[in-house]
Amino acid sequence: MSVKTFKQSKVYTWAFKIFSIVIGQWFYLVLGSFIAIAHSYPQFAKQGGIIRAEYTIGYGAVAIIFLISGISMSTKSLLANIANWRSHFTVLTMSFLITSSIIYGIVSGIKASHDGQIDDWLLVGLIVTHSCPTTVASNVIMTKQADGNDILTLCEVFLGNLLGAFVTPAVLQMYLRGTWEFGNPTHQPGIDTTIQQLYANIMKQIGLSVFVPLFVGQVVQNIFPRQCKWCVTTFKLNKVSSFMLLLIMFQSFSTAFAQHAFTSVSHASIVFVLLFNIGVYLFFTVLTFVYSRPFWVKKWFYEEPTKSSSTLYSYSYKVLRPFYYSRKDTVAVMLCGPAKTAALGVSLVSSQYGIHNPKLGILLVPLVLYQAEQVVVANLLVKLMKKWIHAEDSVPEDEETTVVEMESHTNSNHEIN
CA separation (Å) from 239 to 46, 68, 141, 144, 250?
A: 24, 11, 9, 11, 17
In a domain, 133, yes or no: yes
Q: Quick one: average pLDDT of 262-289?
A: 91
Is residue 294 domain-resident?
A: yes
Tens of pLDDT, residues 210-219: 889 989 999 9
**pLDDT band at residue 401, thresholds of 50, 70 and 90?**
very low
CATH code of residue 125: 1.20.1530.20
Query: Is 20 inside a domain boundary?
Result: no
Average pLDDT over residues 54-77: 87
Number of domains making up the chain: 1
Domain of 59, in residue numbers:
34-389
Average pLDDT, the chain: 84
> Apex CA 365: angle with CA 364 and CA 366, to 5°?
95
In a domain, 8, yes or no: no
Say yes or no to pLDDT of 318 above 80. yes
In a domain, 178, yes or no: yes
* Cβ–Cβ < 8 Å for 66, 213: yes
What tens digit of pLDDT does each residue of 4-62 get?
666 667 776 777 777 777 777 888 889 899 999 999 999 998 878 899 888 888 888 88
pLDDT for 84-112, tens place per residue?
999 999 999 999 999 999 999 999 999 98
What's the pLDDT band for 204 if we cut at 50, 70, 90?
confident
SS3 36: helix
pLDDT of residue 397: 46
Query: pLDDT tens for residues 223-256?
Result: 998 898 898 888 888 888 888 888 888 888 888 8
402 domain-assigned:
no
In-domain check, residue 410: no
Q: Please tell me the total number of residues recorded for the chain in this structure.
A: 417
